[in-house]
């Protein structure tokens, strides 16, 4: 019985590894097509990968929506895809969400939310997040956070 469980567990692990490699290969081919200017031909595949919780695919789809490259330009959709990647723990996405909160891109300006996302990214040693946090909390520029707390 123990050997049977081991075999089933090993088979599941191998299947998961195989699917992961397939997703990576698919994402590579999607990136190559986008680099060749063929975004429209791979957008559905990219959406599938993003829906399967690939942070890299989510970030790429967000960038495409932000620029309007092969998809309609839509800052709210871009924010949503960046948010999915950020909630999944991607430090670059967390930083991007903070920037979007600070600038009001795809979401209303929210300095408090930006600071929270910057802190999450900074905990993962994201250098730009650390720098931005320093600016937000500095005596010269910290008025952004202080002003946000008044509202």
- φ/ψ of 92, rounded to 5, equals -65, -40
The C-alpha R_g of the chain, in whole angstroms, comes to 19
Q: Please state, in angstroms and rounded to a whole number, the distance separating the CA atoms of residues 54 and 64.
A: 15
Residue 138 in 3-state DSSP? coil
> What's the pTM?
0.75
Q: What is the mean pLDDT of each run of 10 residues along the chain (151 residues)?
A: 52 44 69 92 94 95 96 97 98 98 96 95 96 82 53 43
Structural contact between residues 137 and 128, judged by C-beta atoms closer than 8 angstroms: no
Q: Check residue 125 and give its pLDDT.
A: 96
Tokens of 143: 């008025």
Q: Check residue 2 and give its pLDDT.
A: 54
Structural contact between residues 49 and 23, judged by C-beta atoms closer than 8 angstroms: yes
């Amino acid at each position: 019985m123990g050997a049977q469980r081991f075999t089933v567990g090993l088979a599941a692990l191998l299947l998961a590894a195989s699917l992961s490699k397939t997703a990576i290969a698919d994402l590579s081919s999607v990136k190559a097509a986008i680099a060749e200017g063929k975004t429209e031909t791979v957008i559905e595949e990219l959406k599938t990968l993003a829906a399967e919780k690939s942070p890299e695919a989510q970030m790429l789809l967000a960038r495409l929506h932000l620029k309007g490259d092969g998809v309609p330009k839509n800052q709210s959709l871009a924010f949503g895809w960046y948010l999915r990647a950020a909630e999944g723990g991607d430090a670059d996405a967390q930083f991007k969400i903070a920037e979007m909160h600070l600038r009001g891109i795809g979401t209303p300006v929210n300095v408090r939310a930006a600071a929270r996302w910057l802190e999450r990214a900074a905990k993962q040693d994201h250098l730009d997040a650390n720098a931005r946090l320093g600016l937000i909390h500095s005596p010269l520029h910290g008025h952004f956070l202080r002003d946000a707390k008044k509202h």
